[in-house]
């Protein structure tokens, strides 16, 4: 099987998920006895192509164009369509980033193909590649296979594979070959403007040793102080899953997950968080995870070390009382 | 401005999911359904754009007969009319076939703007908006946190990862996928609910659209994922649970 990895960079810096997908692609190449090439796309990105060439790859394709300096969905789809038509891979793999979800479905459709997005694993059984993705917010997994002819396009979720398992090239470096693409300014309908961050983040949750995190199960903003009190007693910070911040019950800078901060405290205490994958990717590296949820099948229990199935409005006050009684340093 | 907004009906968040053996889907007979939450942000945004710029909001939903309820809720909140693309086995479609069907159903409407939510809470493909744009030949942008319409084009705030944002400009007509949290979706008023009864829902069967059944992917089975980590469940009365948990966090995990 011939594989093609599409890497992601912005302003000359890698998106780190690229290397997780590289590790996945190398494993699939090995399993299927195939070959893997990597694509670096942009303008002035030759140094990145050179860096990528140190990985176990058959070839690095360097695709440069003035119109690829800044990301646009039109520019990237049109360029990658030409790359795919030229390289003729069977399987195209991309990291499931915000940028990829912005263009990859259109790229696939422009080739008349479908995309299996946001995969968390794969299996190779009897000559067949099976992709595993989540449904129902992580409450079920699904085995998905491609139908129809190659090329097939799939994306892997952040955190699904370990970047440190990506193999270095065994004999020096992979060749870097330039591939030219034709793009005209009038084909690019989006005008990208400046990148910016919102007001400086007030709290750096990545530095907190203990985090108490609230989800939908907290039910109403009036219940937030209870969680806050628990956080204070534990010597930690309060944070939340996205819906809580969307509701405005806590500021956006306290959000954990794919659109918020990624944390790895020594204790992550999840209150009423179901554990949708967008949240779990932001906290699964925590040393110890405790979770209270009324649903015993909630996906948060898949990553929790300590699980409590029950009513958090009964259990949290009991924990607060116990902490006040025994003290905690 | 003529705006189409795609709204999907999905199993209710707290619905118990029973997997149907061999069907690669869940048993639908005894669970409740609701409007996909990410789509409610797209609906709200479309209503706000109409209030600001005038025009019409058309709510579009594909699915079995029950999906009409989701259209009715959109009408009650202020959408002007609905289009129901009827398909009892909608869940079997892959993202491309879904988008091709929707595109065929709404092509003649010539919307200035089509909005979708970011993804559905059931299948979670997250592709419909981008695919619709490609199939209808329109430009698109996703994960939108703000829409300003000025002189026939839009200035949009896109959310990127890790706290970054970007402004982009896009001409109209276009397709946008809205990020959850962009606004506070309204509730339907009693007046709105009454008014909705008089609004039109046009039903078109998906089969009549003539979209070839050529799937690009197939869900072989769905299942409850295997645990990768051993979870120790703590049981008892709240007081006992609290004492046991603190004991374990202190002396077993040693994190307190």
Determine, for residues A305 and B216 on separate chains, whether the beta-carbon distance falls below 8 Å. Answer: no
Count the helices and strands in chain A (H runs, E runs). Answer: 9, 17
Q: Which part of chain B has CATH 3.40.50.620? A: 2-209
Supply the pLDDT for residue A327.
Answer: 65
Which CATH entry fits the domain spanning A205-326: 3.40.50.1220, 3.10.105.10, 3.40.50.620, 3.30.750.24? 3.40.50.1220
Q: CA-to-CA distance for B196 and B71, rounded, in angstroms?
A: 10
Which chain A residues contact residue B121 at CB under 8 A? 136-137
Structure tokens at B174: 């276009």
Distance from the Cα of B57 to chain A's closest Cα (Å) equals: 24
Nearest CA in chain B to A114: B216
State residue B223 phi and psi, 5-degree precision. -160, 160
Determine, for residues A245 and B124 on separate chains, whether the beta-carbon distance falls below 8 Å. Answer: no
> How would DSSP label each residue in A45-89?
-HHHHHHHTTBS-SEEEEEE-GGGSS--HHHHHHHHHHHHHHH--
| Domain residue ranges in chain A | 2-187, 205-326
Cβ atoms of residues B62 and B102 within 8 Å: yes
Picking from B17, B170, B179, the nearest residue to A190 by CB comes out as: B170
Determine, for residues B99 and A109 on separate chains, whether the beta-carbon distance falls below 8 Å. Answer: yes
Distance from the Cα of B218 to chain A's closest Cα (Å) equals: 5
- Which residues fall within 8 angstroms of residue A141, CB to CB, at 6 or more apart? A120, A132, A133, A134, A135, B222, B223, B224, B225
Which chain B residues contact residue A108 at CB under 8 A? 96, 216
Tens digit of each residue's pLDDT (9 = 90 or more) over B180-198: 989 999 999 999 999 999 9
Which chain B residues contact residue A143 at CB under 8 A? 219-223
Asked if the domains A2-187 and A205-326 are classified in one and the same CATH topology, the answer is yes
A131-151 residues labelled b (16+ CB within 10 A) or e (exposed): bbbbbbbbbbbbbbebeeeeb
pTM for the full model?
0.86
Q: Which fold has domain B2-209?
A: Rossmann fold (3.40.50)
Supply the pLDDT for residue B229.
Answer: 72
Which chain B residues contact residue A99 at CB under 8 A? 160
Which chain A residues contact residue B139 at CB under 8 A? 73-74, 189-190
Determine, for residues B17 and A136 on separate chains, whether the beta-carbon distance falls below 8 Å. Answer: yes
- Give the number of A-B residue pairs with CB atoms closer than 8 Å: 251
CATH homologous superfamily of domain A2-187? HUPs (3.40.50.620)
Distance from the Cα of A174 to chain B's closest Cα (Å) equals: 30
Determine, for residues B256 and A267 on separate chains, whether the beta-carbon distance falls below 8 Å. Answer: yes
Tens digit of each residue's pLDDT (9 = 90 or more) over B101-147: 999 999 999 999 999 999 999 999 999 999 999 999 999 999 999 99
Range list of H helices, chain B: 37-53, 68-77, 95-106, 128-136, 190-196, 238-251
Tens-digit pLDDT string for chain A (329 aa)? 999 999 999 999 999 899 999 999 999 999 999 999 999 999 999 999 999 999 999 999 999 999 999 999 999 999 999 999 999 999 999 999 999 999 999 999 999 999 999 999 999 999 899 999 999 988 899 999 999 999 999 999 988 888 889 999 988 999 999 999 999 999 999 999 999 887 655 677 888 899 999 999 999 999 999 999 999 999 999 999 999 998 899 988 899 988 888 888 999 999 999 998 889 988 988 989 999 999 998 999 989 999 999 999 999 999 999 999 876 54
Determine, for residues A146 and B233 on separate chains, whether the beta-carbon distance falls below 8 Å. Answer: no
pLDDT grade for B213, boundaries at 50, 70 and 90 = confident
């Amino acid at each position: 099987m011939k594989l093609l990895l599409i890497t992601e960079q912005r302003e000359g810096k890698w998106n780190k998920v690229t290397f997780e997908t590289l590790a996945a692609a190398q494993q699939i190449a090995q399993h299927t006895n195939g070959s893997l090439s990597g694509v670096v796309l942009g303008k002035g990105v030759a140094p990145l192509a050179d860096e990528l060439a140190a990985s176990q790859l058959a070839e690095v394709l360097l695709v440069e164009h003035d119109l690829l300096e800044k990301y646009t969905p039109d520019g990237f789809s049109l360029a990658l369509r030409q790359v795919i038509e030229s390289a003729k891979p069977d399987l195209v793999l991309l990291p499931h980033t915000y940028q990829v979800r912005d263009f990859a479905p259109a790229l696939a459709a422009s080739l008349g193909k479908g995309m299996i997005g946001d995969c968390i694993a794969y299996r190779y059984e009897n000559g067949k590649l099976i992709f595993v993705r989540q449904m129902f917010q992580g409450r079920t997994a699904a085995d998905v296979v491609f139908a129809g002819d190659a090329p097939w396009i799939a994306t892997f979720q952040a955190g699904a594979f370990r970047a440190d398992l990506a193999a270095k090239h065994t004999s020096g470096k992979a060749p870097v070959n330039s591939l030219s693409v034709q793009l005209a300014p009038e084909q690019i309908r989006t005008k990208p403007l400046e990148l910016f961050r919102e007001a400086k983040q007030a709290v750096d949750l990545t530095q907190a040793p203990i985090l108490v995190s609230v989800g939908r199960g907290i039910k109403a903003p009036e219940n937030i102080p209870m969680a806050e009190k628990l956080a204070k007693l534990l010597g930690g910070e309060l944070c939340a899953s996205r819906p809580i911040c969307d509701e405005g019950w806590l500021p956006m800078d306290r959000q954990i997950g794919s659109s918020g901060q990624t944390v790895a405290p020594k204790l992550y205490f999840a209150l009423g968080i179901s554990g949708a994958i967008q949240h779990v990717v932001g906290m699964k590296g925590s040393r110890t995870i405790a979770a209270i949820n009324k649903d015993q099948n909630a996906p948060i229990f898949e990553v929790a070390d300590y699980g409590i199935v029950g009513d958090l409005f009964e259990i949290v006050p009991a924990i607060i009382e116990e902490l006040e009684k025994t003290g905690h340093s | 401005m003529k705006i189409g907004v795609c709204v999907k009906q999905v199993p209710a968040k707290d619905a118990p999911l029973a997997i149907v053996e061999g069907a690669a889907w869940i048993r639908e007979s005894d669970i409740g359904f609701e409007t996909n939450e990410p789509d409610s942000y797209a609906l709200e945004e479309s209503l706000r754009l109409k209030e600001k710029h005038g025009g019409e909001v058309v709510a579009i939903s594909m699915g079995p007969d029950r999906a009409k309820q989701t259209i009715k809720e959109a009408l009650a909140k202020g959408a002007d009319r609905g289009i129901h693309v009827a398909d009892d086995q909608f869940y079997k479609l892959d993202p491309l076939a879904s988008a091709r069907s929707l595109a065929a159903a709404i092509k003649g409407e010539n919307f200035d703007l089509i909005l979708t939510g970011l993804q559905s809470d059931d299948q979670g493909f997250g592709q419909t908006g981008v695919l619709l744009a490609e199939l209808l030949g329109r430009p698109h942008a996703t994960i939108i946190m703000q829409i300003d319409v000025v002189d026939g084009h839009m200035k949009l705030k896109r959310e990127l990862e890790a706290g970054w944002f970007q402004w982009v400009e896009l001409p109209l007509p276009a397709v946008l996928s809205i990020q959850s949290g962009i606004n506070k979706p309204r509730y339907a008023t009693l007046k709105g609910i009454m008014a909705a009864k008089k609004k039109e829902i046009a039903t078109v069967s998906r089969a009549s659209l003539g979209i070839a059944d050529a799937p690009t992917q197939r869900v072989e089975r769905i299942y409850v994922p295997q645990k990768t980590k051993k979870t120790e469940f703590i049981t008892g009365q709240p007081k006992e649970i609290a004492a046991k948990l603190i004991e374990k966090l202190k002396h077993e995990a040693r994190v307190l």
